[in-house]
């Protein structure tokens, strides 16, 4: 841990929170650089951070800047990330040492954010949707590194489920194989990112932040390791019609395959294309679900 800590830098707000024992919630930076256009990305990042503060915790947006693992960003750094956008490297577990050693900038995915959050002693992380098994993975083997990270790194991740562009059934099968607990919050059915319903029964249901905090403490005390997923449905008023969003996803995937896009470029391309096909409605839903997840994550962190 000592060798890891020499690469960590904390924002003044996060450092003070750690010294005073305040609850902290980690946030990823890929959603800023690769998830939304500027300036909407920065506006959303600021709103998400404020939502965490309003719910009794301190936000720690995680990123890599000039080779430093940043735990908490200043307003100027958020603006820098938002403006630079997709010119910033998208960083998962395998990329961290390369970006650090070369003194470059990196936007952290779910996996990389979990790793750096754990190094910093942060137990709860809020995001939009996690990566998973891509559609057609039986041929392409396109499976997000996020899924393996859940079996390794002890962080509780609050999300709106796996991104709707993925194969949700295969994603759940993979997580079950890896022994990762998945909780649906106040529902028996897994949410499907843009919409509240997926038709897939959740392995576990939880109805309160207190319950989730108690389960996390028990898992930690038992030394089981690995992470926990809390799938928090998008608020009813922002939930999109399943048929409409699935039609947009199918069209976007067909276009992507025609263009030969794959790997790290898949998710940013699909999210952008779906936003255009839905006239911006998917972007608005994306923002609302992230805010909703941030609020729940803050309440869980406070219980811990």
The DSSP letter of residue 29 is S
* Cβ atoms of residues 85 and 34 within 8 Å: yes
Q: What share of the chain is helix, strand, coil (3-state, %, to 5)?
A: 50, 15, 30
The residue from 13, 28, 49, 79 that is catalytic is: 28
Q: Which helix (H) or strand (E) element contains residue 220?
A: helix 209-221
**Strands 68-71 and 58-65, sheet pairing:** antiparallel
How many angstroms separate the first and last alpha carbons of the chain? Answer: 22
Closest CA to 225 of 296, 143, 160, 156: 156
What tokens were used for 185?
Answer: 């919050």
* Cβ atoms of residues 268 and 86 within 8 Å: yes
Residue 28 annotated as catalytic: yes
- Counting Cβ atoms within 10 Å, is residue 218 exposed (0-12), middle (13-18) or buried (19+)? exposed
- Helices then strands, counting H and E runs in the chain, come out as 14, 11
- Counting Cβ atoms within 10 Å, is residue 174 exposed (0-12), middle (13-18) or buried (19+)? buried
The residue from 90, 149, 163, 273 that is catalytic is: 163
Residue 77 annotated as catalytic: no
- What residues are labeled active site? 28, 163
């Amino acid at each position: 841990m000592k060798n890891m800590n020499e690469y960590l830098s904390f924002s003044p707000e996060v450092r003070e929170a750690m010294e005073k024992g305040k609850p902290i919630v980690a946030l990823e930076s890929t959603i800023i650089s690769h998830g939304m256009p500027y300036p909407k990305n920065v506006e959303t990042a600021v709103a998400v951070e404020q939502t965490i503060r309003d719910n009794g915790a301190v936000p720690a947006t995680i990123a890599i800047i000039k080779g430093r693992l940043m735990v908490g960003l200043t307003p100027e750094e958020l603006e820098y990330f938002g403006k630079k956008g997709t010119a910033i490297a998208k960083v998962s577990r395998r990329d961290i040492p390369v970006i650090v050693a070369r003194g470059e900038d990196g936007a952290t995915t779910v996996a990389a954010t979990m790793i750096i959050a754990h190094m910093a002693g942060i137990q709860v992380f809020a995001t939009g949707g996690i990566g998973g098994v891509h559609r057609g993975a039986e041929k392409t083997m396109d499976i997000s590194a996020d899924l393996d990270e859940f079996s390794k790194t002890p962080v509780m991740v609050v999300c709106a489920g796996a991104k709707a562009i993925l194969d949700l059934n295969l994603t759940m099968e993979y997580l079950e194989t890896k022994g990762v607990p998945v909780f649906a919050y106040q529902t028996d059915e897994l949410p499907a990112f843009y919409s509240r319903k997926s038709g897939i029964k959740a392995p576990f249901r939880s109805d309160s932040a207190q319950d989730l905090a108690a389960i996390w403490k028990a898992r930690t005390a038992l030394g089981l390791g690995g992470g926990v997923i809390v799938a928090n449905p998008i608020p009813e008023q922002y939930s999109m019609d399943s048929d409409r969003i699935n039609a947009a996803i199918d069209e976007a995937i067909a276009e992507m395959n025609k263009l030969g896009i794959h790997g790290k470029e898949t998710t940013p391309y699909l999210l952008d294309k779906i936003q255009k096909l839905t006239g911006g409605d998917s972007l608005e839903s994306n923002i609302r679900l992230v805010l909703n997840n941030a609020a729940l994550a803050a309440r869980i962190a406070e219980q811990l």
